[in-house]
A and B are shown apart, each in its own frame.
Chain A
Amino acid sequence: MDPVLQIENLESGYGEVQVLWGISLKVHPGKLTTIIGANGAGKSTTLRTIMGSLAPWKGRVLMNGEDVTRLSTHAKANRGLVLVPEGRQLFPDMSVEENLEMGAYSRRARKGEKENLEKVYATFPRLKERRKQRSSTLSGGEQQMLAMGRGLMQEPVVLMIDELSLGLAPVLAQQLFLSLKDLRKQGLTIVLVEQNVHLSLALSDYTYVLAEGRVEIEGDSHDVANMDEVRRAYLGM
């Protein structure tokens, strides 16, 4: 099967500092792909460059075989390339429901807005309870739910999540991972960048390990989890 999202030799950075030195990834439909690596390995930078929030210096981004490298962020979002960014990046002055409505902003997501809203509320009942509250008044876990929910409202073709569990209590993190598993079962294509290597390896189908802006290791998550260097470096064994 052809990959739905393919990254070829991506290079980018901030100002004059190069961070990515030629990253190549393939994301297959219906699979959960994780990207792991130490702090500063370039995981978030990879996602931001894919979305175009950061301009790519070199390389290509292909969606269903079509070159979308130079499209603007919002144009990519309108094609269903969805990023749940690190640090949630909610709209603090808007209510919970308005944040979700913003998820359904694009033309393609607009049609299913009502259904999707019901779905999100079903998945995260807390959000329904607080839907009139300003999002900045939510707790950290609730904010992460809202960020996820907002991503789902976008009707993603590929859902990319940056640091799902960062700063959350373990119980909450577990809960979110379980909801991810459900989504993957429903056939959603997911790319996950995570600090929590244990959980992500256990959950995912395919894994990339980044180091210093390059892909160091890749393979089926099961195989990667059993590699010695991975066990030593990332799983503390």
Chain B
Amino acid sequence: MILRHPVLYIILAFAAIMVWLPLHGNNVSLREDLILVAIAVILASNLNLMIGYTGYVNFGHIVFYGLGGYIGLYLAAEKGWNLVLAALLAGVGVSLFALVLGLGILRLRGAYFALATIGILVAVQSFVANFDPWGRSTGLYVSFDAYEKLGGARHALWVTYFLVIAVMALSMILSLGIKMSKFGLGLFAIREDEGAAVVLGVNTTVYKAIIYSVSAFLPAVAGALMFYKNGMIDPSIAFEFMLSLEGIVMLMLGGKGTVIGAALGGGLYEKLRSYLLTSPKLSNFHLVIAGGLLLVVVLFAPGGLIGWLYKAVPRSRKVLE
């Protein structure tokens, strides 16, 4: 069924373009731009599983990305594991952590859940900053010759780029698959009316804990890849509250609850931010502009870009999920 869905082919085409663009002409600087776009899409898509599908606002989503980065970097750089294996294990480990955590805090609803996620973010950050094996607040560094295993630094950067693009495509396919599944229906029921969902026989606690855990997996894998590429990790960049909040902004911008919207919002927001940051005239005001944009979206277009598109071209609702 998913194989016949047009969005699947949009996703694959998107990923293919992302691979082709920098390869064509060996454009390293474009690649560096696009990897950030891909990371934004990964974060926004997986956050969408919680906020868009289940209606639970997770302010601390970045904790998965950061923990994944730490585990991945620790295994790959300090223990000499294969990068892909280290990233996968980081994903599994963080998902399990999220599952256990979720069973505890998903008893909370609404704003209380949102606050608990902030608390977890700060607590985890503080723990890592005191954790000796992970280098406390100085963090971990990849030794320069670690890249030799992947054929030297130049080559290693390309390899991580392709892996990140793969994770991005998987994130979007996962969003699509969940949306079309019975499990996804259960999540929507929770979002619309959790009390009614319980009456209908949805085991909401388990559903919520599972989706919380699933939404942790790919960000953790991406974190492992990205921090390996960056060559270092420390608590302040791994668990950046601002980035967590920006994930929500991306989602709102694109349109929460939709596969394409999350990706679109992630990509556009990242492009906008990096344009504003490096533009000599506007760089002082990048936060003002991004904030103003978010305000306009929240006040006047709560459905985001996709919501606006649905209204403008009603037929698009059938094609775009």
Q: In the complex, is A directly touching B at CB under 8 Å?
A: no
